[in-house]
Structure 1
Amino acid sequence: MNATDRTPADLLSSALAADPGRPLVTFYDDATGERVELSVATFANWVAKTANLLQDELSVEPGDRVALLLPAHWQTAVWLLACASVGAVADLGGDAAAADVAVSGPEPESLAAARACSGARVALALRPLGGRFPQVPEGFVDYAVEVPGQGDRFVPYAPVDPEGAALIVAGREFSGAEVVERARAEAAELGLTGPGARVLSGLPYDTWEGLSAGLYGPLASGGSVVLCRNLGLLAADAVDRRIEAERVTVVAR
């Protein structure tokens, strides 16, 4: 990572320049058996497409608030970096009524909460391989339908201010610079000491600690994350086998 990186999007750009082929996010859903591995390049491509969707199709501008009513998931990680790329404020579990855009998972309660948003609403089916909804929820656009046709490169219409609000989680607001600085400072505490460090995280994305272990820390340190949803469904020996198979060096759960 470069000392000049000031926003989460900068961290991703540096990771892409350094080693685009290395794994960045490996995702498991232990309720469905899904496993997805995204290299830096593949993850960055999803981020670029999602950022273009935000900027060009949903008319999101720097400072706009995007309520992310989503669990810890690889697609949530994509949305966090896409918001950072545009300069929008990613509000994890935030009040959709106060947001310019609401992004929901497929759960009925999440969709109901997102309908409070008077702006654009996007629904994610969170199906394996980014699959579509069999039937799109009323009042929403299907992310899996809209994102494939977006451009593979993203250029913001306006420069992103590192000191501007970038993230809200558990009621705490962070600027882009604060996200980067805190992720860097805490990476060593997590044991992410450089390239090759690999953290297995079963923490949700509704706290800073979950975001730090499950995305920002690995990104800031040149490491990678094995992000596990529903990890509690696994027996202890199965978790141990995953730790060994994935060459995990740090565990956060």
Structure 2
Amino acid sequence: MLGAGVPAEADQALLTFCDDATGERTELSASALGGWAARTAGLLREGCGLGVGSRAAVLLPPHWQTAAVLLGAWSVGVAVSFRLAATAGLPVLEPGADEPLDVTFVARDRLDNWLEDVPEAHHRFALGLAPAAAPLSGVPVGYRDYIAEVRRYPANLPTYALVRRTDPASVDGTSYREWGSLAREVAESLDLRAGDRLLINAAETEHPVKWLLAPLAVGASVVLCANLAPEAVAARASAERVTRVL
């Protein structure tokens, strides 16, 4: 989807992340987001020895770094599980398992609240989700700083064994083909079209099939907004030249 469903020009904005609490505005083209996904793929494959058949828990809010983690994991065949609030009409995947997972990605500010619920994993990464991709000022015991680690890997995807469409993309066994079909169905239900620029309130749309996969499936771009006040939506939509608001 990242390769086929992006804006016509590789340098056009594909994912813009805005946080009204911090003032951050990060704009990523398809090539830039692909670079972060490739670094994540390298971290998982070369740094952790993971690939098809491995399992990851992704305990992160909607964010551009979350997109990099998900796309990087899927690039090397790592099945993911999300920690989400209940979202009507979409599957809620819990990261808990009877045996340890291979890797866990956790937002630093959620770690204290979820400490007892964070699944055991052989590799654990904490994300500060700070503006300008700043590293953590203090790394929790037992974790590694995702940003510090992922920067060690190149921004071009190495050639690995191809992931098959029938391979599991999530820990419940849902395949890549099934997730792709769901993304297209969601895009159709939202009447998304190629070239649309979609504003998404991160607090109200937590599942990545809506804020990431459905737009990618049809070639739409996303303005993902955190801490967005309702009265600020119209002004943000105008400033970002948004065509649709979700």
- Band the TM-score falls in, shorter-chain normalisation: 0.7 to 0.9
Could you tell me how far apart the structure 2 residues matched to 1:88 and 1:128 are? 27
Counterpart of 1:135, as a letter, is: G
Matches within 5 A, 1:90-105: 90-93=80-83, 94-95=95-96, 98-105=100-107
**Residue 184 of structure 1: how far off its partner (Å):** 1.9
Asked if structure 2 preserves the Cα contact closer than 8 Å seen for 1:92 and 1:205, the reply is no
Matched, 1:33 2:23: yes
Counterpart of 1:40, as a letter, is: A
Asked if structure 2 preserves the Cα contact closer than 8 Å seen for 1:20 and 1:41, the reply is yes
Q: Which residue matches 1:230? A: 227
**4+ runs deviating over 3 angstroms:** 15-18, 113-116, 203-207
Counterpart of 1:163, as a letter, is: T
Q: Which residue matches 1:7? A: none
Could you tell me how far apart the structure 1 residues matched to 2:113 and 2:57 are? 11
Identity of aligned pairs, percent?
37
Could you tell me how far apart the structure 1 residues matched to 2:144 and 2:126 are? 6
Counterpart of 1:212, as a letter, is: V
Hey, which of these two has a bigger chunk of helix by percent?
A: 1
User: Could you give the per-residue CA deviations for residues 208-234 of structure 1, whole angstroms, max 9, x where no partner exists?
Assistant: xx3233111111111111111222xx1
Q: CA RMSD in A?
A: 2.3
Asked if structure 2 preserves the Cα contact closer than 8 Å seen for 1:27 and 1:37, the reply is yes
Asked if structure 1 preserves the Cα contact closer than 8 Å seen for 2:77 and 2:163, the reply is yes
**Residue 69 of structure 1: how far off its partner (Å):** 0.8
Which of 238, 242, 245 matches 1:244? 238
Q: Which residue matches 1:221? A: 218
Q: Which residue matches 1:201? A: 200
- Give the TM-score normalised by structure 1: 0.84
The 3-state SS of whatever aligns with 2:11 is: coil
Q: 1:159 to 1:204 in 2, by over 3 A?
A: farther
Counterpart of 1:197, as a letter, is: D
Q: Which residue matches 1:3? A: none
**Residue 135 of structure 1: how far off its partner (Å):** 1.6
Could you tell me how far apart the structure 2 residues matched to 1:17 and 1:190 are? 19
Could you tell me how far apart the structure 1 residues matched to 2:204 and 2:68 are? 13
Q: Which residue matches 1:147? A: 150
Asked if structure 2 preserves the Cα contact closer than 8 Å seen for 1:47 and 1:81, the reply is yes
Matched, 1:54 2:51: no
**Residue 119 of structure 1: how far off its partner (Å):** 0.4
Counterpart of 1:104, as a letter, is: V
Could you tell me how far apart the structure 1 residues matched to 2:204 and 2:72 are? 16
The 3-state SS of whatever aligns with 2:155 is: coil
**Residue 17 of structure 1: how far off its partner (Å):** 9.3
Q: 1:157 to 1:114 in 2, by over 3 A?
A: farther
Q: 1:205 to 1:100 in 2, by over 3 A?
A: farther
Matched, 1:75 2:65: yes
Q: Structure 1 stretches of 5 or more lacking a match?
A: 1-10
Greater alpha carbon shift after TM alignment, 43-52 vs 134-143: 134-143
Q: Which residue matches 2:175? A: 175
Q: Structure 2 stretches of 5 or more lacking a match?
A: 84-94
How many residue pairs match? The answer is 233
**Residue 189 of structure 1: how far off its partner (Å):** 2.3
**Residue 88 of structure 1: how far off its partner (Å):** 0.6
Asked if structure 2 preserves the Cα contact closer than 8 Å seen for 1:103 and 1:114, the reply is no
